[in-house]
Structure 1
Amino acid sequence: MKTIDFDLVGVGIGPFNLSIAALAAPKSELSTQFLERKPEFTWHPGLLLNHAKMQTSFLKDLVTAVDPTSPYSFLNYLVQKQKFYPFTARGDFMISRLEFSDYMAWVAKQLPNTQFDAGVSDVRFEGDHFVIQSNGQTLTSKHLVVGTGTQPVVPDCAKGKLTDNCFHAHEMMQRKPDLRGKRVVIIGGGQTGADIFQHIFAGDFGKPRQLDWVSRRANLEGLDESCFSDQFFMPDYVNQFYHLDKAQQAREVSRQKLTSDGITDDCLSTLYQALYHDKYVLQNPKWWSIQPHQELVGLETADELNQLTLKHGITNNIKALQADVVILCTGFKRVLAPCLENIADQLQLDELGRPLLNEDYAAFWKQPTDSKLFVVNSGTHNHGIIEPQLSLAAWRAATILNSVSDKLLYNNTNSSNIMDWDLHSSSSPQIVQNSNPRDIVS
């Protein structure tokens, strides 16, 4: 019988696979290796604005929720960086994205099971194991976990029209555009749009002549950070949510939108104070605007000038707007990793080509096999609003590692919950437990 190199290989080293790698590293009974095409760990480097903050507590790091004694915790990072006491004097559970990114890069450098400059070009499944091609090396693994991140979303009217003067926000800090004396339009009313508006307003990229923030949302909508909304981000809720049918799941995710896709109160308050001071105290001539209920429906570029067409969400009125620079804060989408192209036809996919996952984040195969293909950050269509969030990263990582080892490597039982969700229903579609793979029955 062929010797298989690893129990688990990870493709991509973003926050979620990094969490799995960190929790797997001290478990000698598991052989693991995680591969990343980039030369070092990075986390949305184009969005690491100076004052952008996390939306979750630093305690929800890569490991602490399931192993608070781990050497890869954020608290140990503070100790090792000799800034524990200055940090605690801050009196704030929320930290900057820059510091959390530095923490994750620190973890990535400590781990014995991560390999950078190791892009994965091909993955095949042969009988009872995966064969992974990575920069001239061939690895075999019983199981595979894919965490290759997301792709930026570009509005239909802007596709094929991106330029140095019209780009997606994920490139902001790499481009560091000189906006002095220019007319700038920001498209998108979420946290990213707010962060970029705030930094441009403060002159971090030079003082623009005109700054317009356009959003199809009805207002600048705050993040729902209440203690009761936080109950959505607990294992007990996720496990119950999983068993709802797809239509019910979609409705619930829609209702929960602002628990993950709003703007933090701190950001809104700071921004409002700055706007008030500029308009009513300094009484500056009008040089900025915030325009809700406006959707970008047209974009033309000519002679380095962007001509935008906006449609009002209530009145349907159409208006034109000119800009020297357009920044698209229009989010990200999740797609099947290109390296899985050769095995995609062996997986059960939904109507949008996304893999269907079981409760342990393993994809459903069309034919039975003991090998498992895990997919992290696959979108909300499987496990709900928590899927793209860092809140339950450690819990999910432990879930996957327990599934790989077929024993309880980590005590990952549901924590008690204030709420009685009672989401289980006899009419809900269930996963058949007596087959492998387990089929979805409608």
Structure 2
Amino acid sequence: MRTYDLAGVGIGPMNLSLAALAAPLEDVTSVFLDQRDGFSWHPGMLVEGTTLQVPFLADLVTMADPTSPYSFLAWLKETGRLYPFYIRESFYPLRAEYDAYCRWAAARLAASAPGMLRWGRRVTAVEHDAASDLFVLTAQVSGPDGTREEKYCAKHVVLGTGTTPHVPAVLRDLSGAGPVVHTGSYLPGRQALIDSGAVTVVGSGQSAGEVYRDLLDAVGVHDPSAAGGAFRLDWVTRSSRFFPMEYTKLTLEMTSPEYTDHYVSLPQDLRDRLGREQRNLYKGMSGDLVDDIYDTLYRRSALGRPLPTTLLTDCEVTAARFDPHGAGGTGEYVLTLHHAQTGQDAEHRTRAVVAATGYRHTVPDLLAPVRDRIDLDDAGRLAVRRDYTVDTGRRLFVAGGEEHTHGVTAPDLGFAPWRASVILARVTGREPYPIERRTAFQTFGLPAHPAPADPPGGPATPGTPQPTTPAPAPQTAEVTP
């Protein structure tokens, strides 16, 4: 059986980034396994016209290797879209463009490195063989003749299994005549939602805003097939406001190696509190979307068009049931809303629900055979070290899912190449891609001593990055005007 230097479980953007950066390295053999038939990035939310919340430079490779043939600009050039993108004068690609770009990169990897990406393989177990000191991955492959097993041996393993849609318990078992869908399945259920005649979006963030804006065009439009006539749309969130993501530049410096060093060094209870407080840094809506929603409502009201819509903040859904005898005899969902500021409760009726309630990371069952080698925190989550390892041997990595340990850089697409560079440095024992140690002008925490350090953009410290346990506080940078 062939032994790989690196095996990846899951082929989402994080592991696809790692694969694209590993492909040119002659001293790294790698294989990446995924249970799907091919690459697909949030297909249920590729709403027409929606954009990424990060610039095009946050592609799979550019922040590690701007010369890579797997860059977003290379895809634009190959598909004849480079000049139209240039003339568009926007840093933010369409979501559909990003998905198409990643599928192109996956296809290009398959052509240049045959066998590196292997689809249709569901990894069921990761084991450690003590005799060889290797990881052994078991994957199930379904075919016309049934299911067979494949085994893969690797010195290092990277988990890129992603997240699963989270639906709160109060909505989880809700069933009735109308659809109840998570935003991850929005597009396949979109027409059924509109046909219901009355939709309530529960949750906040970019996905909630995009769904609300997309359905807003149907508000007030008469549909004879819908009970009650005109389509109604409501939006309920337990957040105190419909908050935008913060894009100010000093705040964006928190997506930096220095802030990640600082965050990792903090106690876990403090990290958990900061994670809740920093939601608006990466879980809010884009300011443009917030403005577009308001401008659309304003435009409709100025024209005297009907606005059967309500936006409710600080309201938590505390109970939900189906009333088969609702308006028109079609049945309705009855949501009990609790307003946190007033302490009041009220019933809200609707015929369909969209749960914009986010995603969750879990410890995959496939790690059960090596659970004794893995560190967990008090909450049962993977205790991810600064170098992204979770096992005692420091050879089992996590690519994505480390928000509770690394903070805002964990879900950031633009930081994926930096993480991949760190992983590849540990795998190879060298630094195939320069790893920035300092990118921020500000200091997080107190400086160890007052001596000035190189400003951002200065020479990188040579050598393989070492894990921080914790990292020393960064020095104060002096910026010359």
- Report if TM-score (shorter chain) is over 0.5: yes
Conserved in 2, the CA contact under 8 Å of 1:184 and 1:323? yes
Of 284, 287, 293, which aligns to 2:308?
287
Alpha-carbon distance between aligned partners in 1 of 2:257 and 2:436, rounded to the nearest angstrom: 8
What's the counterpart of residue 115 of structure 1?
118
What's the counterpart of residue 402 of structure 1?
425
Alpha-carbon distance between aligned partners in 2 of 1:188 and 1:424, rounded to the nearest angstrom: 40
What's the counterpart of residue 236 of structure 1?
258
Q: How does 1:16-415 map to 2 (within 5 A)?
A: 16-111=14-109, 112=113, 113-127=116-130, 128-134=133-139, 135=141, 136-161=149-174, 165-178=179-192, 179-180=194-195, 182-203=197-218, 209-279=231-301, 281-303=302-324, 304-365=331-392, 369=393, 372-415=395-438
Q: What is the one-letter code of the residue matched to 1:176? A: R
1:117-143 deviations in whole A, cap 9, x for unaligned?
Answer: 111122111111111111221110011
**Shift of residue 150, structure 1, vs aligned partner:** 0.5
Of 434, 445, 448, which aligns to 1:422?
445
Q: Can you give the 5+ residue segments of structure 1 that lack an aligned partner in the other structure?
A: 427-435
Q: Can you give the 5+ residue segments of structure 2 that lack an aligned partner in the other structure?
A: 142-148, 223-229, 325-330, 450-465, 471-481
What's the counterpart of residue 327 of structure 2?
none
**Shift of residue 309, structure 1, vs aligned partner:** 0.6
Alpha-carbon distance between aligned partners in 2 of 1:16 and 1:76, rounded to the nearest angstrom: 19
Conserved in 2, the CA contact under 8 Å of 1:62 and 1:394? yes
1:141-184 deviations in whole A, cap 9, x for unaligned?
Answer: 01100111101111121222256611211111122333146111
Alpha-carbon distance between aligned partners in 2 of 1:174 and 1:212, rounded to the nearest angstrom: 20
Say if 1:205 and 1:360 are closer, same or farther in 2 by CA, change over 3 A.
farther
**Shift of residue 253, structure 1, vs aligned partner:** 2.7
Say if 1:17 and 1:381 are closer, same or farther in 2 by CA, change over 3 A.
same
**Shift of residue 290, structure 1, vs aligned partner:** 0.7
Conserved in 2, the CA contact under 8 Å of 1:10 and 1:17? yes
Conserved in 2, the CA contact under 8 Å of 1:4 and 1:129? no
**Farther-moved stretch of structure 1 (23-32 vs 331-340):** 331-340
Alpha-carbon distance between aligned partners in 1 of 2:73 and 2:400, rounded to the nearest angstrom: 25
Q: How many residues align?
A: 424
**Shift of residue 4, structure 1, vs aligned partner:** 5.2
**Farther-moved stretch of structure 1 (161-170 vs 253-262):** 161-170
Alpha-carbon distance between aligned partners in 1 of 2:443 and 2:378, rounded to the nearest angstrom: 33
Alpha-carbon distance between aligned partners in 2 of 1:42 and 1:162, rounded to the nearest angstrom: 28
Alpha-carbon distance between aligned partners in 2 of 1:407 and 1:181, rounded to the nearest angstrom: 58
The reply on whether 1:15 has 2:18 as its aligned counterpart is no
Q: What is the one-letter code of the residue matched to 2:441? A: I
**Shift of residue 265, structure 1, vs aligned partner:** 1.0
Alpha-carbon distance between aligned partners in 2 of 1:347 and 1:268, rounded to the nearest angstrom: 42
Q: What is the one-letter code of the residue matched to 1:419? A: Q
Alpha-carbon distance between aligned partners in 2 of 1:162 and 1:144, rounded to the nearest angstrom: 40
What's the counterpart of residue 431 of structure 1?
none
**Shift of residue 28, structure 1, vs aligned partner:** 1.2
1:59-118 deviations in whole A, cap 9, x for unaligned?
Answer: 011100110000000010100111100110011101111111111111111112211111
**Farther-moved stretch of structure 1 (237-246 vs 247-256):** 247-256
TM-score normalized by structure 2? 0.84
Q: What is the one-letter code of the residue matched to 1:174? A: P
**Shift of residue 244, structure 1, vs aligned partner:** 1.7
Alpha-carbon distance between aligned partners in 1 of 2:362 and 2:175, rounded to the nearest angstrom: 21
Conserved in 2, the CA contact under 8 Å of 1:180 and 1:205? no
Say if 1:190 and 1:438 are closer, same or farther in 2 by CA, change over 3 A.
closer
Q: What is the one-letter code of the residue matched to 1:152? A: P
Alpha-carbon distance between aligned partners in 1 of 2:292 and 2:421, rounded to the nearest angstrom: 38
Conserved in 1, the CA contact under 8 Å of 2:57 and 2:414? no
Query: Aligned with 1:53: secondary structure?
Result: coil
1:187-209 deviations in whole A, cap 9, x for unaligned?
Answer: 01211110000000023998762
1:252-295 deviations in whole A, cap 9, x for unaligned?
Answer: 3333221101111111111111000112x122233111111111
Query: Aligned with 2:127: secondary structure?
Result: strand
Alpha-carbon distance between aligned partners in 1 of 2:446 and 2:355, rounded to the nearest angstrom: 38
Query: Aligned with 1:228: secondary structure?
Result: helix
**Shift of residue 385, structure 1, vs aligned partner:** 1.6
Conserved in 1, the CA contact under 8 Å of 2:257 and 2:439? no
**Farther-moved stretch of structure 1 (310-319 vs 242-251):** 242-251
Alpha-carbon distance between aligned partners in 1 of 2:159 and 2:50, rounded to the nearest angstrom: 28
Conserved in 2, the CA contact under 8 Å of 1:60 and 1:391? yes
RMSD over aligned Cα atoms: 2.3
Alpha-carbon distance between aligned partners in 1 of 2:182 and 2:169, rounded to the nearest angstrom: 13
TM-score normalized by structure 1? 0.91
**Shift of residue 438, structure 1, vs aligned partner:** 10
Conserved in 2, the CA contact under 8 Å of 1:358 and 1:364? no
Say if 1:243 and 1:4 are closer, same or farther in 2 by CA, change over 3 A.
farther
Conserved in 1, the CA contact under 8 Å of 2:300 and 2:306? no
Query: Aligned with 2:235: secondary structure?
Result: strand
**Shift of residue 364, structure 1, vs aligned partner:** 3.4
